[in-house]
Structure 1
Amino acid sequence: MVNQRIVAYKRYTTSTFFVALFTGALAILFSQCKPGQLKGDADNGGLTLPGGFEGLVVADSVGAARHLAVNSNGDIYVKLRGSYADGSNVALRDENGDGKADVIKKFGVYTDSMGYGTAMRIYNGYLYYSSTGDVFRTKLIPGELLPEKNSELILHDDYQNDPHGYNHTAKPITFDDKGNMYVPFGSPSDVCQQLDRIPESPGQDPCPQLAEHAGIWQFNPDKTNQTIKDGKRYATGIRSAVAITWNPQDKDIYIVQHGRDEMHRTWPGMYTKWQSALLPAEEFLHIKEGADAGWPYYYYDWMQGKKLLNPEYGGDGKKEGNGSKYEQPLIGFPGHWAPNDILFYTGNMFPAHYKNGAFIAFHGSTIRAPYSQSGYFVAFVPFKDGKPSGPWEVFADGFAGMDTILNTTDAACRPMGLAQGPDGSLYISDSRKGKIWRIIYKGYTANFGAPQLAAMEKLKTTSAHIKNPDEVADNLQKTKLTGGAEIYSTYCGVCHLSNGKGDGSRFPPLDSSEYVLGDKTRLINILLNGLQQPITVKGKQFNNLMPSHSFLTDKDLALVLTYVRQNFGNNATEINEEEVAALRTKISAQKK
């Protein structure tokens, strides 16, 4: 009797064990494939995503958002562009688990006259963030949304007194696994010309800007009041890197850098407007210590698959020179997409296809006219063994709210920052209105593959703001321009845009502008001498430098200024050739 009970007990416990094991396995499987009860918005927050993914708007309008970071408890921290009396950073908390921000608070009061503050990263219990010239940190308080009020100045860049000028002053940051912080210092010019952005001005060789610009420097993240002299130059020849991150898989830095501007404007006899819209590449680079990416001497032509000599240094669009000796990109993306953040995905929510791959936020172009402005989406690059394992993909689109984008200001939103949540969801920030999206996966991970990616892949050849434009069919300038309109299109429209409204952040509007409609002498002087200091237009400050256009003849300057004063809703008197000539003569006499 006892033996029968023992046998029966063994049978019971064995079957119970296997039932429990099977049930547990199913629970694990479904918990990995169908995360939680969080749901995306009915329209996915306006986004187009691969099958199985859903999007929701965490917050609709926190202000012009740059980079963002998500804490281990799900709290979100966002860097705002510019400085505000009530705080230039934003903290958000979801208190009821629906994915929406219930608490939104501002913090971090400091002055940022340029408005290019960018970084927002969490490291060793501290929140690190940057203004245009400074990197700060403030300690996070466990359980509290806001960090400590007192911040420490970790790094200072006196960019406003830089003898080379100031451009590409954003200060994104990343950290390695050995206790180091990395900060790019962008080039103060476009391509180190003797006269910056002046047509056919030769490049400086050697380029003096490389000593303290156009590279990545390594710093101690715990030391206060550092300058670039306290850092170690880690890599060079990098024009502007806003998208920078540390890859925990191969323990190296990766960046996606902004290529040079306006090849047609500066070398109209060598590059067409179509070539200028597509070139040079935005380079996805694997950066090891000592790397040299070749700026200002070389650029990457993604269509030819080569680094070519810049025309300022004797190039002609074909000459390779020593281009092969410099750091080659993993991928050369089409020009002017403005890569502004990169994130290697390490979470478990998304399908295995995304594990250890790179998401890249393309902020969108401003200088692609007469073709559709391009970018304005989030891409994904699959990775294996430290290298792309397949072509880049469109991961999230729909930010702009339209397909063909004639002017940057037409885009509803512009994706800017990326962050990974503790549950593996992906957060995306927008620099236009300050929307914050959260992307989650609700499908079955085992079933994810080509069918779910098919619709996104199609966008690469059908969407006007993603595909490579046809030189003739996709030219949005259907009529031949003459006179002031042609001069404006060639030399002014790339920044102020075809509608004269500027891009809303770097380049001021010309419509109803007090500078356009006001004193003629002041306006003529701006084109003859350029602008080297901030100006306020229609109540908003703009800080981007404007080069002199004194290379234009008196007649051409008069034509383009009259065009500006009598278009874009403006109705002012003309400026004649004699007025331009008189002021040019006066300026020349004053310089002697």
Structure 2
Amino acid sequence: MLTTTPTRSVSTLLSLITLLALTQCQPKLPPGDPGNGGLYLPDHFEAVVVVDSLPARARQLAVNTNGDIYVKSRFSKKDARNVALRDTNNDGKADVIEEFGSYEPERSYGTAMRVHNGYLYLSSELTVYRYKLTPGKLTPQDSIEAVVIDDHEHGMHEHIAKPICFDNKGNIYVPYGAPSNSCQEMNRTPRVPGIDPCPQLELHGGVWKFDANKINQTQKDGVKFATGIRSVVAMDWNSEDENLYLVMHGRDDLLRLWPNLYSPWQSAVLPSEEFMKVKEGDDYGWPYCYYDQMQEKKVLAPEYGGDGKITGRCDQFQKPLMGFPGHWAPNDLLFYKGKQFPERYTHGAFVAFHGSTNRAPYPQSGYIIAYIPFENNKPTGAWEVFADGFAVVDPVVDVSDATYRPMGLAEGPDGSLYISDTEKGKIWRVMYKGDINNFGTAELAAMEKRKSASNIRNPDPVKDNLNKGEAVGGQKTFELYCATCHQKNGKGASGRFPSLVNTEWVLGDKKRLIGIVLNGMEGNIEVNGENFVNAMPQHSFLSDEDVAKVLTYVRESFGNKASAVETAEVTAVRKKTATK
């Protein structure tokens, strides 16, 4: 026994030394804010608000190896397209905030921000840029370079976001989104068939691969990597299995375009936002098919003869790994590589859902950070709610009711997760403060209960219908054809769809207003001091009486007080347009 005592003492001492060393190596994390800055998180996670608001708000963000944060502004001045933030006293709060970035954006907002190989890569809707970062300097000192330039004519083009990601062989991946909703002969027009084959797939509706180290490339310099992909904002490269992953925005307007085939409830929850593992040469089937997450299969789109059940040609296309509910707006994807979080989070993917705009007459949904657990490079099962509470209100009737909308995700050098918000420009830093070796289902129980909130669960077809009575006249037309974008309260969605409240576009010249409804509109316009570039499709399929009623409803609702629009006025504008 006397001979074993020293051995035990040495063993105990070594254990203490090892524990001390591990403790000293752990990054010193700042305290979380009371109430985690308003977020609901799994047990033992904390959040600190890095910055409560940025004047130009925020879209995507990136974190450098020294902890500096770079944010792509949502709205910005000519010489301040981006924001850099630094925490100099390690309290988790940004105390140095500097704007930078003098270049002309072709469209109003940015769609990417990444730090890669000493460069800060970012994008407008049409160009991928990069700055060389200087060690020790917060903002870039060198001039900006264009890496990939989208030189197409865009006009009514709808999906021109330029998210980016990098593989480990020097390539950068850039989507060229579909220029329409479903490749119809007349875009977003009820009961109009799709073009077959869809010519838009030649140069759009897919992901292209480029050399990450070359500048001034256009699409012809890249290689089409995959096709049949409608619209992408959330995209990342998984270095564990060396594959590209993305979450696709599903198509819209099932009810508005095909009211004979789809109920309001079906149109609210379908089609899926598709989580895809994308390999070179894959075809995911847009515009011919969409994924129904409840049937767990791809079905033929109504523009190509589908009725929501027929599979048809869709069995020849790739299926997604997982289908999220419809219209949640997946706007960032991040595979976690850090060691701060428990092992459960070290192989899977976080998804930022910006939140729906077009689920009326049901509550808007999404507005969360979801997590997809992985094992052996495959999802293990259902997705989880990792962070909720952004919307603040429940239910979200119109998108403008949501206080915050999560947009960007980034991992810090210490393994913290950063989340940006578009509505106020708020940024959270999420940290784990518990025992990483003792984390399981008990710590997730509260988040599992969050799935009962109206912004997460599937709505009940009857109980969750927010239309208490059957709308008639102009209101009925508005809720079917207009509220999808402009929202039921007429306030629109900031940055995407203009407000109809107290604006000269509504209250002013009636002929101009009628012309917009009949003929559609494209190009950059300013509404109540905010610029918009989204195209509005024509609604010439409406009768003169219906146009008059819906415009009268708009001019007399939402606090607006303007004279009615008469059927004869619509007829006169239609005739004048037809003779041109």
TM value normalised by structure 1: 0.95
Amino acid at match of 1:438: R
State the 1:109 CA deviation: 1.3
Match of 1:544 among 526, 531, 534: 534
- TM alignment of 1:399-418, pairs within 5 A: 399-418=390-409
Shift of 1:29: 6.0
Q: Which of the residues 43, 46, 58 maps onto 1:51?
A: 43
**Does the residue aligned with 2:77 lie in a helix, a strand or coil?**
coil
- What does 1:29-428 align with in structure 2 at a 5 Å threshold? 36-62=28-54, 63-159=56-152, 161-162=153-154, 165-428=156-419
Deviation of 1:16 after TM superposition, in Å, equals 5.8
Which residue is equivalent to 1:3?
Answer: none
Shift of 1:322: 2.0
SS of structure 2 residue aligned to 1:81? strand
Shift in CA distance, 14/144, structure 1 to aligned 2, threshold 3 Å? farther
Cα pair 1:83 1:111 within 8 Å, conserved:
no
Residue 495 (structure 2) aligned to one of 505, 529, 543: 505
- Alignment partners' CA distance in 1, 2:265 and 2:22: 50
Quick one: which amino acid aligns to residue 249 of structure 1? Answer: E
> What code does the residue aligned with 1:134 have?
T
Task: Please identify runs of 4+ aligned residues in structure 1 that moved more than 2 A.
Answer: 10-20, 24-32, 34-37
Aligned match of 1:445: 436
SS in 2 for 1:58: strand
Higher Cα Rg, which structure? 1
Q: Is the 8 A contact 2:108 2:531 kept in 1?
A: no
Q: CA RMSD in A?
A: 1.6
C-alpha separation between the residues in 2 aligned to 1:573 and 1:162?
36
- Within 2, Cα distance between the matches of 1:168 and 1:478? 34
Distance 1:17 1:263 in 2: 71
* SS of equivalent to 2:464: coil
**How many equivalent pairs are there?**
578
**In the aligned structure 2, how far is the partner of 1:100 from the partner of 1:185?**
37
TM-fit CA distance, 1:85: 2.6
| Percent identity between the two aligned chains | 56
CA distance in 2, matches of 1:377, 1:11: 56
Residues 407-458 of structure 1: per-residue CA shift (max 9 Å, x gap) = 1011111100101111111000111111110000011122211111011111
Q: Distance in 2 between matches of 1:40 and 1:506?
A: 33
- Measured against aligned partners, the alpha-carbon deviations of 1:160-194 in whole angstroms (never above 9, x if no partner) come to x237x321111110000000000011111111100
Inter-partner Cα distance in structure 2 for 1:149 and 1:43: 41
Q: In the aligned structure 2, how far is the partner of 1:561 from the partner of 1:15? A: 86
Could you say what secondary structure the match of 2:131 adopts? strand
Aligned residue in 2 for 1:527: 517
**2:470 aligned residue:** 480
Distance in 1 between residues matched to 2:516 and 2:330, nearest whole Å: 31
| Deviation of the 1:158 alpha carbon | 2.5
For 2:32, the aligned partner's letter is G
Contact map agreement 1:363 1:376 (CA 8 A) in 2: yes
8 A contact 2:79–2:103 mirrored in 1: no
State the Cα deviation string for residues 43-90 of structure 1 (Å, max 9, x = none): 101100000100110011123211111111111111112442331111
C-alpha distance in 1 between matches for 2:278 and 2:396: 33
Check whether the contact 1:83–1:113 (CA below 8 A) recurs between aligned residues: no
* Aligned residues of 1:510 and 1:516 also touching (Cα < 8 A): yes
Query: Does structure 2 retain, via aligned residues, the 8 Å contact 1:83–1:110?
Result: no
Distance, in Å, in 2 between the alignment partners of 1:459 and 1:61 is 26
Amino acid at match of 2:488: S
For 2:437 and 2:148, the matched residues in 1 are separated by 46
CA separation in 2, counterparts of 1:325 and 1:579? 50
Distance in 2 (CA, whole Å) between partners of 1:531 and 1:37 is 51
**Is the contact between residue 343 and residue 436 of structure 2 (CA under 8 Å) also seen in structure 1?**
yes
Q: 1:207 to 1:18 in 2, by over 3 A?
A: same
- Report if aligned partners of 2:268, 2:359 keep a CA contact under 8 Å in 1: yes
User: Runs of 5+ in structure 2 lacking a partner?
Assistant: none
Per-residue CA deviations over 1:297-337 (Å, capped at 9, x if unaligned) read: 00001111110000000111111012122111111000000
The 3-state SS of whatever aligns with 2:312 is coil
- Look up the SS of the partner of 1:445 in the other structure: coil
- Partner secondary structure for residue 24 of structure 1: helix
Q: Matches of 2:24 and 2:177 in 1, distance apart?
A: 45
- SS of the aligned residue for 1:25 comes to helix
SS in 2 for 1:43: helix
SS of the aligned residue for 2:59 comes to strand
| CA distance in 2 between partners of 1:453 and 1:14 (Å) | 42
Partner letter of residue 14 of structure 2? L
Whole-Å separation in 2 of the counterparts to 1:417 and 1:27: 36
CA contact (8 A) 2:332 2:351 kept: yes
Query: Contact between 1:80 and 1:118, CA under 8 Å: does it hold in 2?
Result: no
Q: Which range moved further: 431-440 or 445-454?
A: 445-454
